[in-house]
Amino acid sequence: MKNLKTIFSLILFSLITIFSCDSNSEELQAEEAKNELINNDELQAPPPGPPPAGTTYTITNGMTFSQLNAVLASASSGDTVEVEAGTYTISGRLNFRNGVYIKKKTSTTPIFDAQTSSPSQMLEQYISSNNDDIDVYGIQFRNIRLKFVNADNTKFRYCIFDYGKRKSGTDKGYTADAYIQLNNCTNIEVRGCVFKRRSGNSGRGVYTSGSTNTSITNNTFGDGGSTGYFVTAINDNSDGTTISGNTIERKASWVNTSETDHGIYAHSFDGLDIIDNTISGWPTNASGGAIKARNGQNLTITDNTLNTSGILLYVYSNNPSNPFLKNVVIDGNTINVSSSTNDIYHGIGYWRNTSSSSFSEYSIRIANNSLPNGRIKIGTPVDASDFNAGSGGVFNNNIDAITLPSGINNSGNY
């Protein structure tokens, strides 16, 4: 009897383990498959498992845009729209609906394509209503940008964004070149997606403005080659954003300062975590830098690997609503640059462009970073006592060169 009880317990434990694993298999398998990109641009993420309760609708291969849109319009909160493999011409605004799950039907990625309907610039989907609690999984968008305004709890997972057209006459100041733009949104997730920019059609991947609690994780931006023509991978002008686990690879040999504006570029933020990303290909000049952050507060940049350029920290006088850079931690990053040239671009640099007392820095800590060929340089003007506040200073970094104004706390750098 005792042996029977033991056997029964083992069987029960095995069943519990199997079902537990099944419940998490969608995300685990998708994470493992994210990097398996093949020549036909298909993202090898598996189907996302059974749909939630509700009616399931199907977009079938061969549907026209009006037929596809009619299917989307039929769904309501709690329903699922499955998209069969195929290429669908998109010529207008997609009928997104609150709470609808839109996903690929099989392992083959369906394509929503606006290359022929909008040949001179990306076809914008301006979604300012019916945009809450949507989950878009495993769709490839070609020459389409998604602009969501005032959305809440919406997800973009394991999608591909490619073949975006740059509008003629625009440069890096034109932020409407982003594939995903989030304005005044809350709790948005961008996960496991692939973003591509091609020669002659540079642009951004994700741009957030005035949003709260955005999560941008485990995405791929470019390949360092034919799909690496990025102005900026991620622009963040929001609060509470997490940017984590992304691989960002600009084409390093592409020289175009009018269309180059930092790997991750953040300003006017309150609460920003940039963690465990790999960023390559941006130059060591004022248009470059793997990460640039200015005029914000509560910033953490940790455990990133930055190749070809490093971290730029600024306070600009043109942002009086955020006249500071404060509560900053730069820790545990590896920065691989070619030399320790005496400027703020070849490693980790800070610069304030005004001596006005209306603009300031406060509690900036740079510690435990590895820059074997790089430099840490803090420019002037700077208030050393404010820089040092709250454990600020420069500590225990592996660097080739260091340039610090008098009074900045520092020790253990080698």
Per-residue pLDDT tens for 339-373? 999 999 999 999 999 999 999 999 999 999 999 99
Give the per-residue pLDDT at 132.
98
Q: How far is CA 347 from CA 182, 206, 283, in A?
A: 31, 25, 11
Q: How many CB atoms lie within 10 A of CB 129?
A: 11
Per-residue pLDDT tens for 203-257? 999 999 999 999 999 999 999 999 999 999 999 999 999 999 999 999 999 999 9
φ, ψ dihedrals at 16, nearest 5°: -60, -40
What proportion of the chain, given as a percentage, has pLDDT over 70?
A: 88
- 132-137 long-range contacts (CB < 8 A, ≥24 apart) are 132/98, 132/99, 133/77, 133/98, 133/99, 134/96, 134/97, 134/98, 134/99, 134/100, 134/101, 134/102, 135/100, 135/101, 135/102, 135/103, 136/102, 136/103, 137/48, 137/101, 137/102, 137/103, 137/104
DSSP 228: B
Q: How far apart are CA 102 and CA 115, in angstroms?
A: 22
Per-residue pLDDT tens for 10-43? 444 444 444 444 444 455 455 444 444 433 455 6
Task: Fold for 166-411, please state it.
Answer: Pectate Lyase C-like (2.160.20)
Give the per-residue pLDDT at 9.
46
pTM of the model: 0.90
Q: How far apart are CA 326 and CA 343, in angstroms?
A: 22
Per-residue pLDDT tens for 128-185? 999 999 999 999 999 999 999 999 999 999 999 999 999 999 999 999 999 999 999 9
